[in-house]
Amino acid sequence: MASIEAFKLEVRSWIEEVLPADLRVGNRKDLPKESLGNWIQALAKRGWITPDWPTEYGGGGLDRKHTAALRAEIKAVRAPTVSSFGTSMLGPTLLEFGTEEQKLEFLPPISRHEVKWCQGYSEPGAGSDLASLQTRAVLEGDEYVINGQKIWTTGADKADWIFCLVRTDPKASKHDGISFILFPMHQPGVEVSPLKLIDGSADFSQVFFDGARAKAKDVIGPVNGGWTVAKRLLQHERSTDGGSEGGLSGAQKETLVDIVKREVGLQDGMLADPAIRQRLAAQELEAKALSLTMRRAGEEARAGQTARDIGSLGKYRWANMIKSEQDIAMTALGTQGLGWDGPGFEDTQLERTRAWLTTRADSIWGGTNEVQLNVIAKRVLKIPE
């Protein structure tokens, strides 16, 4: 393998050759389709959509250092990155649990960004308590017949295939009767019904299975042993979340201070509205205190001091902080923050409205605010119930 420095030079000249200028704006939703398609093809040709996968499965065969160097170079020129359920979650899981046959069948299309996957995990009755899922799969010959329902399935309406948790042994204890199975979405017996949310998005769907069919050979890992596979995949999901920087929309991300300064205006160097000035200062100080508190918890843990469990506190304060950031931006924008669509509003204003709505979920998912306070009272403060 080439030395890191030589490799970086190679990547740089390759980027100059294949990356159109109109793509050097970061990850945006409104990128020109043709340019984006060409860029994805160029990446795929070298296996660089999944640079650290082995070449026999369509990857780039790069080690960790070369992978990191490649990603840094792509990031440096603000080229769009390509990631999907296939590349970040299913792929790594298949590499670990799949048979040789399964890897050769499913990985190369993912590495070429040709097949879109979705994740069939949550059900109406199985949210935080995922292992209580009820979707049934019954073996008939060399196929499973699947009945049940999934919810909060991201991208189900556009997906070609689903990786899905199903109950293959209803008599076993709840963690032991689950299998991890792959099957196509485009078939009779699969019906997708997008869920429109308050922010107008419909990225999540409900998926109904009424006699859907999966090949028995497409179970990943042991039959009834899917819980282990499922948990491993969730770890990949979390590491992806942790590594992402967020802010997919809006290439030039304005800070809250920028917005408030512009909308409210300065008089003698001070925000013209003293009440909004107070809120903005409080907001900045809250964000800083949150990050200091998380850092302090890390230092306490490393020093072996008796660290209090502040996970719930962090989630609770983070959710409130994110929501109030949007509230202040909306307050600064006034009725220009109420636009829903179309002319009369700048894109950044419309994005702000939607972001304000989207972030209402932050105090709901991953344990509601109320659940977090319950947890603090019980587990941290040890107040008897």
Partner 1 sequence: MGLILSEDQLILRDMAKSFCDEKSPVERMRTLRDTRDAVGFSRELWKEMGELGWIGILFPEAVGGAEMGYGELGVVLAECGRVLAPEPFISTVLLGGNAVLLGGSEPLRKDLLPGVCSGDRILALAFQERGRFAPYAVETAATRDGSGYRIRGEKQFVLDGHVADQIVTVARTAGSAGDRDGLTLFVIDADAPGVSALRTEMVDGRNAARITFDNAVVDAARVLGEVDGGADILDPVFDRATIGLCSEMLGSFEEAFERTLEYLKTREQFGVKIGTFQGLRHRAAQMFGELEFARSVVYDAQSSIDDGREDVAECASGAKARCSDVANLIGGEAVQMHGGIGMTDEEEIGLFFKRLKAAEFTLGDAIYHRNRYASLRGY
Cβ nearer to partner 1, comparing 179 with 324: 324
What are the residues whose beta carbons fall under 8 Å from the beta carbon of 369, sequence distance 6 or more? 316, 319, 320, 363
| Least separation in angstroms between CB 287 and partner 1 | 11
| Least separation in angstroms between CB 247 and partner 1 | 22
| Least separation in angstroms between CB 354 and partner 1 | 26
Cβ nearer to partner 1, comparing 21 with 270: 270
Note if 73 is an active site residue. Answer: no
Q: Which two three-digit tokens encode residue 179? A: 């299998």
Calpha distance 86→27 (Å, rounded) = 18
**Exposed (0-12), middle (13-18) or buried (19+): which is 323, by Cβ within 10 Å?**
middle
Cβ nearer to partner 1, comparing 238 with 288: 288
What are the residues whose beta carbons fall under 8 Å from the beta carbon of 63, sequence distance 6 or more? 1, 52
Q: What is the DSSP string of 114-128?
A: -S-EEEE--BTTBSS
Calpha distance 237→130 (Å, rounded) = 15
| Least separation in angstroms between CB 127 and partner 1 | 21
| Long-range contacts of 292-298, Cβ-Cβ distance < 8 Å, separation of 24 or more | 293/317
Written as one letter, the residue type at 369 is N
Cβ nearer to partner 1, comparing 109 with 311: 311
Half-sphere exposure for 5 (CA within 13 Å, toward CB): 0
Residue tagged active-site, from 237, 284, 286, 300: 237
Calpha distance 81→79 (Å, rounded) = 6
Calpha distance 265→271 (Å, rounded) = 6
Cβ nearer to partner 1, comparing 171 with 302: 302
Cβ nearer to partner 1, comparing 143 with 273: 273
| Least separation in angstroms between CB 322 and partner 1 | 16
| Least separation in angstroms between CB 182 and partner 1 | 43
Binding site for partner 1 (CB under 8 A): 257, 260-261, 266, 269-271, 274, 277-278, 280-282, 284-286, 288-290, 292-293, 295-296, 299-300, 303, 305, 308, 310, 313, 316-317, 370, 372-374, 376-378, 380-381, 383-385
Q: What is the DSSP string of 17-29?
A: HH--GGGTT-S-T
Give SS3 for 98. coil
Supply the residues annotated as catalytic: 237
